[in-house]
């Protein structure tokens, strides 16, 4: 399948919302990568940085597609489609199996990285959440990034350059993504078939987080849960309601994680059963299938607890935006509200509470995010936070 030409031509880079400055660099590198020998813009190790949701792993995957596509990332050929669908033999996307990459994972990755590409010029490894490399995993990786196999390309993704050891980051060409503007996110959602009103809401509510914007725009239950959590902030009347609210926040994060993961888990299981030849007879086959499935389930469970934490952090970001909106109203600041559609509730809270307390509440949410990042049990962190949200001065910060 070839590339369509002229005005109809699309590109794998079109899904990168509000990142034009990066797209031109990646396109130039991809065309240099097609030269023999590769031109000066092409290097073997790249680091994609950007705030959560800015699309750093999408950018890395798009670049991976451009490297293996005969047309520089047309978005339509067999290679592009395979990369975007997660099934290209030469473009591997890795995520940590648990909360961090273990040394063993890094070792087996490094071993695989030495393999020559099977179809094209480059063997690409996209490493999501490279900030979750343990120090020893970092060191295992370092050798491979310093002296990569001649046709291997590493694409690491992390929130910022500070998240990687200096030894690794100094070997990488850095690609910096920005939080996309609300308008850019809204336009993108509309191009995906979302109506203008929902797109505008989701773009605002997600604060530039593309994945969150897409989930809010397309999954009604995610939208409803977000609303329910925010509305709870009005009704923290006594300790019992605080404990209930903490439980509801954790439950909402779990349900959001479930909505994001369910489809992926099922696809993986079906793929594995297919690969193992499910239905084949014989005790040996059954045993192998069983242990492989157990393995997959363990990995999926580890990913689940990590995703719940990510979603919980996202709920906290929603709460931060809620109290930020309250503060905006209390100061009559001339800026747009994140939660415009809930203006009456926000206005009431702004009237009934003091700005100094709003600041304490914002501090309580920040503390909770910090606690979660230090692995405090989610329920405990939420209870401590909600109690402070109810009575910020009593909590004695
Ligand atoms: Zn292509």
Percent of the chain with pLDDT over 70: 91
Expressed in angstroms and rounded, the spacing between residue 4 Cα and the centre of ligand 1 is 10
Confidence of residue 6 (pLDDT cuts 50, 70, 90): very low
Measure 73 CA to ligand 1 centroid, in angstroms: 4
Confidence grade of residue 395 (pLDDT, cut at 50, 70, 90):
low
Centre of ligand 1 to C-alpha 313, Å, is 36
What spacing in Å lies between the alpha carbon of 71 and ligand 1's midpoint?
5
For residue 2, the CA-to-ligand 1 centroid distance in Å is 8
**What's the token pair of residue 165?**
């050891």
Contact in structure between 80 and 124 (CB atoms under 8 Å): no
Q: Measured in angstroms, how far is the CA atom of residue 21 from the centroid of ligand 1?
A: 21
Least confident of 1-5, 8-12, 178-182, 383-387: 1-5
Mean of all residue pLDDT scores within the chain: 87
> Which two three-digit tokens encode residue 367?
């503390």
CA distance 144 to 44: 10
Q: How far is the CA of 34 from the centre of ligand 1 (A)?
A: 13
Nearest C-alpha neighbor of 156 from the set 186, 132, 180: 132
Helix (H) or strand (E) holding 314: helix 283-330
- What residue segments make up the domains of the chain, in order of their start? 10-176, 182-235, 248-390
Average pLDDT rounded to a whole number, residues 307-326: 91
Helix (H) or strand (E) holding 248: helix 239-275
148 band by pLDDT with thresholds 50, 70 and 90? confident
pLDDT at 283: 60
Distance of CA 262 to the CA centre of its chain: 16
CATH of domain 10-176: 3.40.50.300
**51 vs 204, higher pLDDT:** 204
Note the pLDDT of residue 282. Answer: 56
1 Cα–ligand 1 center, Å: 9
How far away, in angstroms, is 227 Cα from ligand 1 center? 40
Name the band, by pLDDT with cuts 50, 70 and 90, for residue 303. Answer: confident
The answer, yes or no, to whether residue 47 has pLDDT greater than 90, is yes
What pLDDT was estimated at residue 288? Answer: 65
pLDDT at 102 over 60: yes
CA–CA separation, 175 and 23 (whole Å): 10
| pLDDT band for position 276 (cuts 50, 70, 90) | low
Query: DSSP letters along 182-200, please?
Result: HHHHHHHHHHTT--HHHHH
Distance from residue 157's CA to the centre of ligand 1 (Å)? 22
What are the pLDDT digits (tens) for 151-161? 999 999 998 99
Q: Look at residues 363, 72, 73, 43 and name the one whose alpha carbon lies nearest to residue 171.
A: 43
Give the residue with greater pLDDT, 196 vs 97.
196
Whether residue 127 is predicted with pLDDT greater than 50 in this model: the reply is yes
pLDDT band at 86 (very low <50, low <70, confident <90, very high): confident
Report the DSSP beta bridge partners of residue 328: none
Query: How many CA within 13 A on the CB side of residue 57?
Result: 21
Q: Is the pLDDT of residue 284 over 90?
A: no
pLDDT of 9: 43
Q: Could you tell me how many residues make up the chain?
A: 397
- Residue-level pLDDT at 375: 84
pLDDT at residue 5, as a whole number? 38
Q: Measured in angstroms, how far is the CA atom of residue 173 from the centroid of ligand 1?
A: 24
- Cα(161) to ligand 1 centroid in Å equals 30
At 195 the pLDDT is 97
What CA–CA distance (Å, rounded) separates 86 from 331? Answer: 48
Q: Give residue-wise pLDDT tens across range 340-365.
A: 999 999 999 999 999 999 999 999 99
């Amino acid at each position: 399948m070839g590339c369509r030409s002229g005005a109809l031509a699309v590109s794998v880079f079109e899904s990168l919302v509000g990142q034009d400055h990066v797209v031109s660099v990646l396109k130039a590198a991809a065309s240099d990568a097609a030269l023999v020998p590769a031109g000066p813009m092409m290097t073997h190790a790249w680091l994609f940085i950007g705030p959560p949701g800015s699309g750093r792993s999408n950018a890395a995957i798009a670049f991976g597609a451009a490297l293996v596509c005969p047309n520089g990332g047309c978005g339509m050929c067999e290679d592009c489609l395979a990369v975007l669908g997660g099934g290209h033999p030469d473009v591997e996307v890795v995520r940590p199996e648990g909360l961090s990459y273990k040394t063993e994972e890094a070792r087996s990755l490094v071993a695989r990285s030495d393999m020559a590409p099977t179809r094209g010029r480059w063997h690409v490894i996209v490493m999501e959440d490279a900030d979750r490399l343990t120090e020893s995993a970092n060191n295992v990786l370092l050798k491979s990034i310093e002296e990569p196999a001649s046709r291997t390309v590493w694409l690491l993704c992390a929130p910022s350059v500070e998240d990687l050891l200096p030894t690794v980051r100094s070997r990488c060409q850095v690609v910096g993504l920005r939080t996309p503007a609300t308008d850019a996110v809204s336009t993108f959602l509309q191009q995906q078939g979302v109506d203008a009103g929902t797109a505008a809401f989701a773009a605002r509510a997600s604060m530039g987080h593309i994945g969150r914007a897409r989930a809010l725009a397309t999954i009604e239950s995610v939208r409803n849960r977000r609303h329910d959590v925010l509305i709870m902030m009005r009704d923290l009347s006594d300790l019992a309601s605080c404990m209930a609210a903490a439980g509801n926040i954790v439950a909402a994060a779990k349900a959001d994680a479930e909505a994001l993961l369910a489809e992926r888990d099922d696809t993986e299981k079906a793929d594995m059963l297919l690969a193992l030849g499910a239905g084949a007879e014989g005790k040996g086959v059954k045993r192998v299938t069983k242990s492989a499935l157990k393995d997959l389930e363990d990995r999926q469970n580890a990913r689940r607890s990590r995703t719940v934490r990510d979603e919980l952090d996202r709920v906290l970001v929603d709460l931060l935006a809620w109290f930020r909106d309250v503060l905006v109203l209390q100061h009559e600041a001339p800026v747009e509200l994140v939660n415009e559609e809930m203006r009456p509730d926000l206005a009431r809270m702004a009237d009934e509470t003091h700005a100094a307390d709003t600041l304490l509440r914002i501090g309580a949410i920040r503390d909770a995010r910090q606690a979660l990042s230090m692995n405090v049990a989610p329920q405990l962190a939420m209870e401590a936070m909600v109690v402070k949200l109810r009575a910020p001065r009593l909590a004695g910060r």
